[in-house]
Structure 1
Amino acid sequence: MSSSCCSPDGHCSTGTATATAVGVSTTYAVSGMTCGHCRDTLTKAIGGLDGVTGVAVDLEAGRVTVTGTREPDDALIAEVVDEAGYELTGRV
């Protein structure tokens, strides 16, 4: 009898915990974020960059934490944030 990692209802499990963002984390101050749409926009834009493994947006603090496999390119992050309509004002 062969064992499958997927259940009949389509849910898959390898028996390991869900992967979380691992690597180098850098937090940036970003102005102009006010709502869930802002969070979603930045998460998608920054998350699409090569090497980025996680993006956490804190609207109240005006901060975005980027986790990646290597040290982030601040100029590239600033460019993506700017293109999305926000302003990266520096590292926190």
Structure 2
Amino acid sequence: MYLKVHHTPNAGDVVAVCDRELLNTTLRRGDVEICITEGFYGRETATEEEVRSALKGAANVNLMGKRVVAIAIDMGLVSAENCIMIGDVPHAQIFRI
């Protein structure tokens, strides 16, 4: 998995994680096109434990992929019903207010 933490001064950190095989691909669903880029999801790979640690305290989260979404579901951060599918790839966003 690739993990990047975007530090923002007013909105809290944004944690972006995607499954390894999705980096630098483009997914389409109808008129929606999502580019999964290094600029947003990073260039550094992360272990499952590192992903879990980053997700624990994150104010905002963007997840792409079966493995990373399964981790968030296992942690109780999101349910499968609240994820959208882009083709066969689950996508979840989490916002803590």
Report the TM range for the smaller structure's normalisation.
Answer: under 0.3
Q: TM-score, normalised by structure 1?
A: 0.25
Which has more strand, going by share of residues? 2
Which has more helix, going by share of residues? 2
Q: TM-score, normalised by structure 2?
A: 0.24
- Bigger Rg, which one: 1
Which of structures 1 and 2 has the larger relative contact order (alpha carbons within 8 angstroms, sep 6+)?
1
